[in-house]
Amino acid sequence: MLSRRSLLVSGLAGGLTGCASRTKNAYVGFAFVATRDSGDIAIVDLAAFSLEKKRIKPSGRPVQLIDVPGQDSLLSVSDNGAVEEVSVTETSITRKLKTPLAPESVWLNHDASTIWGLSPDHKTLLAVDRATFSTRAQWALPARARTIAVSPGSPHVAVAYEGSKDIGILRDAGDKQFLISKIDQTPGQLRYLKNGSMLIVTHDQERQLTMVDSASGKIVVALPLPIRPENLCFNSDGGQLFITGEGLDGVVVVYPYQSQVAATLLSGKSPGPMAVSRQPQYLFVTSPSTDTVSVLDVRTQKLAAVIAVGNNPRCIVFTPDSQMALVLNQRSGDMAIIRLGNIVSKRQKTAPLFTMIPVGSAPVAAVVRSVAG
């Protein structure tokens, strides 16, 4: 069992003693991995590359983990709508939200003070005070909500409704009424730019992005795309948006602040979810049908490597120091670890897989936490 900080640090340091030459510059930290079908959260020691015996058991099957920056906690969201606080140092559940939320709708706001989500029937939007774990405010919606988005850099929240082309926008948690934005096509996914100035709207039936001004709700531009936008991923500064979806074995690159489609890059077959490392900036693109990950150099926009991982890769996270990419393979139930330093653009376009760690059935989400010296 992992105890508080002293055991996290001393236990980890003790585990490194016998292999100091191999782990001299090792990243010291843990990955918390939500394993949906196992119904728990696995803990992986990323310095020893081993699975901890203790597992955290939420009250439902975990489908999402949300990091709470600067705090000794993360949030676990289960398929039954349970939202629970997990202590990182205690590796245990410490609090549970009394009101369940629709699991796919849960977001943490820009300053980590508020948990946003929809009621299980999607007819009410709720703002929950993270400090007290109590409902701060709620809004009855004019129609059943399809999805929501919360700005990473401002108080803005947006709601798309089923069977409607309207989008409701709250510019502050104190707003009593929604600003209504009327768009031309039925909305799909919603995403805010990093500074919250613009709302990006995808469309399920149209190969198009619509960009909406957050302050006025007015359409700024509609951008035609060569694919149906299914998976979205921003780089670290928010200046590039990468999109994959039906219609092309490639990645569409959008410069959202310039409101333009910049390029289309070839990637693996039927590309899926993506993630971008900070430094160096590599775009990792999963290809679930071929059990591979394609790595694109963001600076040169060229393919750097194609790496065979486990079965059905769906989620990628990075260690904070960008040393390693952690790829969750849903069907094979393991986590593939790729060292970014081993990715060198060359003629063969391959890179070695560092190791694989079994984590449990259907890993779907992960949060990485560093351990201070």
The pLDDT assigned to 258 comes to: 94
- Residue 303: alpha-carbon gap to chain centroid: 23
**Does residue 12 sit in helix, strand or coil?**
helix
The pLDDT assigned to 353 comes to: 86
Do β-strands 73-78 and 62-67 pair in parallel, antiparallel, or remain unpaired? antiparallel
The CA–CA distances, whole Å, from 24 to 28, 47, 319 equal 10, 10, 17
Residue 286 one-letter amino acid? T
Give the closest residue to 183 by CA, choosing from 160, 151, 205. Answer: 160
How many angstroms separate the most distant Cα atoms in the chain? 63
Give the closest residue to 46 by CA, choosing from 72, 74, 25. Answer: 25
The pLDDT assigned to 344 comes to: 74
The CA–CA distances, whole Å, from 255 to 238, 239, 281 equal 9, 6, 16
The pLDDT assigned to 64 comes to: 98
Contact 52, 45 (CB under 8 A): yes
Full strand arrangement of the beta sheet holding 274-276: 274-276, 282-287, 292-297, 302-308
Other C-beta atoms closer than 10 Å to the C-beta of 295 total 23
The pLDDT assigned to 351 comes to: 73
Residue 103 sits at φ, ψ, to 5 deg, of -60, -35
The pLDDT assigned to 206 comes to: 87
The pLDDT assigned to 205 comes to: 84
Average pLDDT, 10 consecutive residues per value, the chain (373 residues): 39 35 72 98 97 97 97 97 97 96 97 97 98 96 97 96 96 93 94 95 92 96 95 95 95 96 93 95 96 95 94 97 96 97 72 91 97 72
* Ramachandran region, residue 238 (left: φ > 0; alpha: ψ -120 to 50; beta: rest): left
The pLDDT assigned to 168 comes to: 98
**Whole-model pTM?**
0.92
